[in-house]
Structure 1
Amino acid sequence: MTQIDSSTLLPTPSSATLRALGERVQQGMLVFNGKFEVSVANGLVRELFGVDTTGSLDLGRQLEALLPPFAMSQARETGSWIGSLPIGERVITLHLHQHSDAGEEAFLALFQHIDGPEDYERELQQRHAELRQAYLRLNGTQEKLLQSEKMASIGQLAAGVAHEINNPIGYVHSNLGSLQEYLRSLFTVIEAYERALRAPDPKALIPEIDDIRDRLDIDFISRDLPQLMAESREGIERVTRIVRDLKDFSYSGRDESWKLVDLHAGLESTINIIWNELKYKVTLERRYGELPMIECLPSELNQVYMNLLLNAGHAIAERGNIVVSTGVNGDEVWVEFKDNGSGISPELRQRIFDPFFTTKPVGSGTGLGLSISYGIINKHHGRIDLDSTVGEGSCFRIVLPIRQPK
């Protein structure tokens, strides 16, 4: 049985047929390729752009100049793009469609004139709704990325945080064992005194009580017990502080509002979380100035502090210093992180805030830390200044407004 190609039953319309059909369309119609070479332009679109039948090349160039840079790429990715274009004193709605076949690319542009203010307002409202949906999707993605990077940082620090918690828990557990022995000894002495009180001649039992006191070393217990309790309380407070700081840091911040905060409290909270990562090779020096309360999103700023402190620690090979300084300059405050590590070369300095760029080995960094930090500071209407010399170290300075602009 002979197979028939169905495409042979549908002959391709000629250019003359397409042009004739275009003249019947009640919209401006333009067909062109990826180089903006026009093959079909009906009368309405020629009138709109003010060209005659010989001006197709100029028409393509005019359209290329009017289209936003992302319109063609979006049409290629999704098949279409819709937007508004100012042409002369008019505002025109453009529906742009793309089709590729056998390596050939074609675009169909349909232009619709917005006649009156009501149509224009309706068009603006529609575009506003579309932009708002796109913004909400983008904002949601940014929040997820921010939270993912935050949790990734905690994951990388998990062993150190566990050590910081286990250390005080360990000596509190040991102290509780000592406390149990001390209580047993004290109860033994108390029982001896109770027997003496019930005896006909209590003074006769004093030598026995003194012997028990000496054997159980009650004098040492009375000296060591307050110190043991104070040490245990300090250990429990240490664990409580780490857990609280971890909870604050891991908070997603979705419902966090701008509030007046003490930046020094956030710095100390962050240092407390990452200290195990730094303490074996870093001497940390604090040079805090007098700061006013700052209007900010504290959990996001804490993530910036963590990223910069960890980067400073990673830049130090064996042993070095990190200086954390703060100060006020007019209606701005600054927080500075200075290390004497390896420094950053000029060519890398241009890329350190790029997403996914990292100089760390594969698997030890996401390349998002500085990029996210830059976005957070930009969101706070601030800036990050960098001064670095290879072999001498780096200095990152965060500059923030005391109050956010209205």
Structure 2
Amino acid sequence: MPPARRGRTDIDLSDPVSNRPDDRLPSIEDVQALHELMDVGVLMCMGDGTPYHANSAACALVVGQAAGDYLSALLALLPAEALASARRTGRWYGEVTLDDARVVQVHAYHHGSNGRGQFMVVFIDVTETHAREQEQQRRHEESQQTLARLAGAQEQLLQAEKMASIGQLAAGVAHEINNPIGYVHSNLGTLQEYLHGLFAVIEAYERALRAPDPRALQAEIDDMRSRFDLDFIRSDLPQLMAESREGIERVTEIVRNLKDFSYSDRDESWRLADLHAGLDSTISIIWNELKYKVTLEKDYGALPLVQCLPSELNQVFMNILLNASHAIAERGRVTVATGVRDDQVWISIEDTGVGIPEDVQQRIFDPFYTTKPVGKGTGLGLSISYRIVRKHGGNIEVSSSPGNGACFRITLPIRQPDKSLA
């Protein structure tokens, strides 16, 4: 005899002998007893959809029905298409919500054809599972909202620190602009006096040309030339104009550096930038903070254009340069160096200041940590700098010892593998 196939007995249904009752086969009572042991509800239906058996777990779903109506009540829980779909494909899965808010997962199976065979419907109470999933979803949504609020707060802190830095530098920038504007204004006053004298002499010449005897006004003209010192005006006027032009160019340069320093695309697009230009514009903007006690040295290497957010890196340079200046008590040196190694560029900013103790180095990039007196620092400068550098896929390290200054070294990838250029 061939081996039995899965889901079948080894009884030959065409053989009358084999169709005789076999004590080894379970009776309907045995199957129903097994159903009663199950924690899930089971409903059995004829091939035409007429229910004929349900276990206690299934009947518990429709408690309160009149006697004998529980089978119909269970069948009524199924959507209209459930049995028809199970008849076509052999199975149907769905989920229903009872009147008491319990959530039940329903699996309907069909075996047989031509109206014969039967259905088995399994009911699984998933109310607790569903509640846990909803709770997890609610917590996930709350977490997303919290992350969004944190991201917003972080962006606000970034802007607040940037505005605080700009406010701190405003007086210095104003001073740097006032110097050239001051002597341009003074030169314009002198130029006005020169023009007054020149126009007076020109008018005297015009009167002499119209007079019957021009020689009669020669003495007056010579007196005016001497009084207004035309020879000095002739020699001083080109120098005065050159100084004024230089002052205007200095103001133009400061404004251009300020624009370069604060450059920011609205969509924060990444672009190729010259880091040396960013360093120079930043130094120019904060020069009023540095020049009275810092000797600045530059040791620039040959850098390629770097894919970055220029204004954010400029803020990093500004924070570190200002910290270097603040670390120098009276007079010292700050050295800015750059170079390339493999597919990265590096920028180091080293000072000869008081240095940073080892225990402070462990916390120097923590938000709101500062060694400055109250009201002198927010404690966000280096923390935001660290975040910006990490956002660029780079790293920032500090090496220092008390009394021997400090060196901040920034490494950045030349290209961002996951970013497109503007």
Alignment partner for residue 301 of structure 1, among 313, 338, 341? 313
Please give the secondary structure, in 2, of the residue aligned with 1:377: helix
Please give the secondary structure, in 1, of the residue aligned with 2:234: helix
Distance in 2 (CA, whole Å) between partners of 1:384 and 1:149 is 19
Deviation per CA, 1:75-94: give whole Å up to 9, x if none: xxxxxxxxxxxxxxxxxxxx
Cα contact 2:399–2:406 (8 A) shared by 1: yes
**Structure 1 residue aligned with 2:281:** 269
Q: 1:358 to 1:303 in 2, by over 3 A?
A: same
**Structure 2 residue aligned with 1:141:** 153
**Structure 2 residue aligned with 1:404:** 416
Q: 1:331 to 1:200 in 2, by over 3 A?
A: farther
Distance in 2 (CA, whole Å) between partners of 1:256 and 1:203 is 75
Deviation per CA, 1:213-270: give whole Å up to 9, x if none: 2321112212222222222223233334334444554567652211111112211221
Distance in 2 (CA, whole Å) between partners of 1:252 and 1:259 is 11
Distance in 1 (CA, whole Å) between partners of 2:342 and 2:136 is 41
Distance in 1 (CA, whole Å) between partners of 2:344 and 2:135 is 42
Distance in 1 (CA, whole Å) between partners of 2:143 and 2:307 is 28
Does 2:196 correspond to 1:176?
no
**Structure 2 residue aligned with 1:365:** 377
**Structure 2 residue aligned with 1:348:** 360
Please give the secondary structure, in 2, of the residue aligned with 1:372: helix
Does 2:302 correspond to 1:290?
yes
Q: How many residues align?
A: 295
Does 2:241 correspond to 1:229?
yes
Cα RMSD after superposing both structures: 3.2
Amino acid at match of 1:235: G
Does 2:398 correspond to 1:386?
yes
Question: Which is greater in Rg?
Answer: 2
Q: Which runs of structure 2 are paired with 1:6-405 in the superposition (5 Å)?
A: 111-112=129-130, 135-202=147-214, 205-206=217-218, 208-247=220-259, 249=261, 254-405=266-417
Cα contact 2:260–2:278 (8 A) shared by 1: no
Shift of 1:294: 1.1
Please give the secondary structure, in 2, of the residue aligned with 1:255: coil
Please give the secondary structure, in 1, of the residue aligned with 2:284: helix
Distance in 2 (CA, whole Å) between partners of 1:218 and 1:149 is 56
Cα contact 1:150–1:250 (8 A) shared by 2: no
Q: 1:254 to 1:135 in 2, by over 3 A?
A: farther
Q: 1:236 to 1:125 in 2, by over 3 A?
A: farther
Shift of 1:133: 5.2
Shift of 1:129: 7.5
Shift of 1:165: 2.3
Structure 2: 5+ residue runs without aligned partners? 1-38, 42-127
Deviation per CA, 1:306-355: give whole Å up to 9, x if none: 10000000000000011111222222111111111111111111110111
Q: TM-score, normalised by structure 1?
A: 0.65
Amino acid at match of 1:277: E
Distance in 2 (CA, whole Å) between partners of 1:250 and 1:300 is 8
**Structure 2 residue aligned with 1:8:** none
Please give the secondary structure, in 2, of the residue aligned with 1:351: coil
Q: 1:389 to 1:195 in 2, by over 3 A?
A: same
Q: 1:194 to 1:111 in 2, by over 3 A?
A: same
**Structure 2 residue aligned with 1:30:** none
Amino acid at match of 2:350: K
Shift of 1:283: 0.9
Distance in 1 (CA, whole Å) between partners of 2:206 and 2:223 is 16
Cα contact 1:147–1:252 (8 A) shared by 2: no
**Structure 2 residue aligned with 1:70:** none
Amino acid at match of 1:183: L
Cα contact 2:352–2:404 (8 A) shared by 1: yes
Distance in 2 (CA, whole Å) between partners of 1:171 and 1:325 is 35
Shift of 1:157: 2.4
**Structure 2 residue aligned with 1:45:** none
Distance in 2 (CA, whole Å) between partners of 1:164 and 1:295 is 31
Cα contact 1:352–1:358 (8 A) shared by 2: yes
Cα contact 1:261–1:294 (8 A) shared by 2: yes
Cα contact 2:264–2:310 (8 A) shared by 1: no
Shift of 1:301: 0.6
Distance in 1 (CA, whole Å) between partners of 2:366 and 2:199 is 67
Please give the secondary structure, in 1, of the residue aligned with 2:396: strand
Cα contact 1:143–1:254 (8 A) shared by 2: no
Please give the secondary structure, in 1, of the residue aligned with 2:182: helix
Cα contact 1:284–1:323 (8 A) shared by 2: yes
Distance in 2 (CA, whole Å) between partners of 1:265 and 1:356 is 30
Shift of 1:210: 3.9
Cα contact 2:334–2:351 (8 A) shared by 1: yes
